[in-house]
Structure 1
Amino acid sequence: MMGAPAMANAADAVKIGFVTTLTTGAGAIGEDMRNAVDLAVEHLGGKMAGRDIEVIYEDDGFKPEIGKQKTDKLVKKDDVDFVAGYIWSHVLMASYKSAVDNGKFLISSNAGPSALAGKLCHQDFFSTSWQNDQTPMAMGEVLNQRGIKKLYIMAPNYAAGKNMVTGVERTFKGEIVGKDMTKFPAQLDFSAELAKVRAAKPDALFVFYPGKHGAQFMTQYAQADLAKTVPLYTTFTIDSLSLPRVGEQAEGSLMTMFWSPDLDTPANKKFVGDFKAKYGHYPSHYAAQSYDSIMLINSAVEKVKGDLSNHDAVRDALKAAEFSSIRGDFKFGHNHIPIQDFYLRQVVKDSDGVYTTKIVSKVYEDHQDPYAAECEMK
């Protein structure tokens, strides 16, 4: 009689709570992430180690307090085995303790605030994306390579925006002639800042504006007719979600990223091909990271043969990360942030005339985030 509950529990579904933004102007990002998760579940045949997969999606409404409430619900009411998702750094920072302090594994599918890579690193927190500083650090190197001496910076004034600016400032060797940290998420009019850019006459403009803010910025940058005099370099501003709207303005522009739709790995070819066939457009990096989140979880569940009762064994299996990632080889640093390559990408048209990005060059190989040194985990 004592064995019956355990056997019944083993037959239960693997429950994954996925927190993202499904409403507001940022809802398109969350939908892309959800689509990628659904595709990953489909690729797995709806099973992990013979157990059904149940994904419970929650909408954070782009607000930290709602993200925390939804995380609490997933942990305490739904009793999920894993919590994943999180687009925004400020939402993740408000939510992560609700998961890890209650014995749940948390996998960030996007947000990479510096604290969670460094001093607040936790044995049950993992990332399938990056730490926020890394992508703009790669961009700083690109700016140096291209001989940029005077740079103007614009970014939103919240956790990720500050990390992005810190990242580019870490590596850029020239002079920063102006910097505007705009109100977030309220500010969508950048005309005053663009007028300041024109007056400063920099060699280049670096910006970070994710989601609808990026589309708004690109439109206003084009309207200001700055492209001829102030070339644009971006991180997380132009992606497959915004390219249908801003592709003409963005064509030829440069960005850095750990991934691109044309990355030549078996898992990426399958992911991008099947995503386009199923949803009719290229996946974003948000989607790619979300797909990897599910494949990482699956690798752990398979390694422990579906028995999630031994928390330490599951953690070890997550750390091993033995799965086919969209980026090729996948390995974690001791702080559970990926050690990975970063590329320079350019906006181009594909053979069908659809705007996408292609890899121009590799900027970093096996790059580890700068906050890992502050993480005391072994």
Structure 2
Amino acid sequence: MKTPWISALLAPLFCMPALAGAAEPVRIGFVTTLSTPAGYLGEDSRDGFALAVKEGDGRLGGVPVQLLVEDDALQPARAKQITDRMLIDGVKVFTGGLFSNVVAAVAPSVAKDALYVSGNSGPSIFAGARCMPNYFATATQNNTSHEVAGRVANELGYKRMVILAANYQGGRDALEGFKSSFAGEVTEIYTKLNQLDYSVELARIRSLSPDAVYQFHTGGSGINFVRQYGSAGLTQQIPMVLTAYGMDERMLDAVGPLAIGSRVISMWSSALDVPASRTFVERFQAEYGRAPTLYAAQAYDTAHIIGSALAATGGRVDDLPALRQAMREPSFESVRGNFAFGNNQHPVQDWHLIEIIDDGQGKPVPRLLRVAAAGAGDAFAQDCKL
């Protein structure tokens, strides 16, 4: 029987109850983006995390939990209001933030007296000298995948590229990461967050006639970019390199054949031959009737990392030093395969090069080509003194 989700727009606070008669559950504040064109990212994150809770019969690491879900609507001020209210109410564990501008607004205040676990973004400002004891990033440090993409672009022989991203913390980190490793010439273009019309930018790309394009736009914005790129006749003329954040599984369904030929960098894919990943994909599809995206996979791992810490501490979330120490060395089977935390509490993991190919019937599907970077951490860890 599927979990009866309540729309966040109708009921801003969604509670997943613990089992009757169980110990007082640990409340987890899951503040994410469930509306706006990026809303499906939050839906998949929520559902991936909730699947792990469901598999544990309402528990993570054997500890009863209560998942409190609210929509931040991609508004940093709204996210901070929600988390401040939960903090006052005694919530000690937070996750769910998707966009770096939202995470940047809430993480510092949360991390003073509670644990903040960023399950998607890893803003550079919190990875180096300003790293925080009670802050963890379980998906990536923003720059890292883009640094790998820059090296892949070098290997593909590209010399001149147009690189584009939305003008917010995550987008700026993305392009800085790419430029730090790409040896060729770049023309930078910044777009607006949640922009949906890219006609001006595409005209400029056409006039510049680069060897390739690197772009970072997620959710509905990313879908529109790829569709308009194809409609402008650029798909066959100028190849595209990007990360899975700009070409996730739902985007593949939405843009269809326009995605074929793209080179994608990701630390996870449904094509990854990892036992925990295969099991996760099967269970997610059975539960929700759709294929999971990278966002769901990240959240599923995040739930198990938190669960590992709860198991080690017996669910005592008020003892933040003990909880933090347990978080640093999680015991779980990652859907990514290799996973560890660096000294700055950001992931050390493998990144894969994926090609989007035709499945023989015109449908785009991912094909793993090779490991693009093994055991990769981030460039900011050396400045973190934790």
1:127 is matched with 137
CA distance in 2, matches of 1:354, 1:202: 27
Shift of 1:258: 1.0
Shift of 1:373: 1.5
Cα deviation digits, residues 127-148 of structure 1 (max 9, x gap): 1100111111111111111111
Residue number among 82, 87, 99 corresponding to 2:110 in the alignment: 99
Range moving further from structure 2, 124-133 or 272-281: 272-281
Residue number among 145, 152, 156 corresponding to 2:166 in the alignment: 156
Shift of 1:234: 1.4
Shift of 1:351: 8.4
The reply on whether 1:275 has 2:261 as its aligned counterpart is no
**In 2, are the aligned partners of 1:109 and 1:289 still within 8 Å (CA)?**
yes
Cα deviation digits, residues 100-159 of structure 1 (max 9, x gap): 11x211100101110111122111111110011111111111111111111111111111
Residue number among 75, 85, 92 corresponding to 2:96 in the alignment: 85
The 5 Å alignment of 1:202-351 reads 202-235=210-243, 236-349=245-358
**In 1, are the aligned partners of 2:128 and 2:383 still within 8 Å (CA)?**
yes
Q: Which letter maps to 1:265?
A: V
**In 2, are the aligned partners of 1:304 and 1:314 still within 8 Å (CA)?**
yes
Cα deviation digits, residues 225-280 of structure 1 (max 9, x gap): 01222111112211112121102111121111111112122211111111112222
| Partner-residue secondary structure (3-state), 1:135 | helix
| Partner-residue secondary structure (3-state), 1:331 | strand
Q: Which letter maps to 2:277?
A: N
| Partner-residue secondary structure (3-state), 2:372 | strand
Structure 1 48/221 Cα, relative in aligned 2: closer, same or farther at 3 Å?
closer
The 5 Å alignment of 1:6-85 reads 11-48=23-60, 50-77=62-89, 79-85=90-96
Shift of 1:354: 5.3
Shift of 1:352: 8.7
The number of equivalent residue pairs is: 364
Cα deviation digits, residues 52-89 of structure 1 (max 9, x gap): 22000011011110111111122112x22310111100
2:4 is matched with none
CA distance in 2, matches of 1:20, 1:234: 24
Q: Which letter maps to 2:35?
A: T
Gaps of at least 5 residues in structure 2 are 1-21
Shift of 1:210: 0.7
How high is the TM-score relative to the length of structure 2?
A: 0.91
How high is the TM-score relative to the length of structure 1?
A: 0.92
**In 2, are the aligned partners of 1:29 and 1:241 still within 8 Å (CA)?**
no
Q: Which letter maps to 1:199?
A: S
The reply on whether 1:145 has 2:155 as its aligned counterpart is yes
Shift of 1:291: 0.6
Shift of 1:349: 4.9
Cα deviation digits, residues 27-63 of structure 1 (max 9, x gap): 1111111111111111222124544220000110111
Shift of 1:281: 2.0
CA distance in 2, matches of 1:175, 1:247: 30
CA RMSD of aligned residues (A): 1.6
Cα deviation digits, residues 324-363 of structure 1 (max 9, x gap): 1111232100100011111111223558975432221111
Structure 1 19/68 Cα, relative in aligned 2: closer, same or farther at 3 Å?
same
1:6 is matched with none
CA distance in 2, matches of 1:49, 1:22: 27
**In 2, are the aligned partners of 1:14 and 1:48 still within 8 Å (CA)?**
no
Q: Give the fraction of aligned pairs with identical amino acids, expressed as a percent.
A: 37
Gaps of at least 5 residues in structure 1 are 1-9
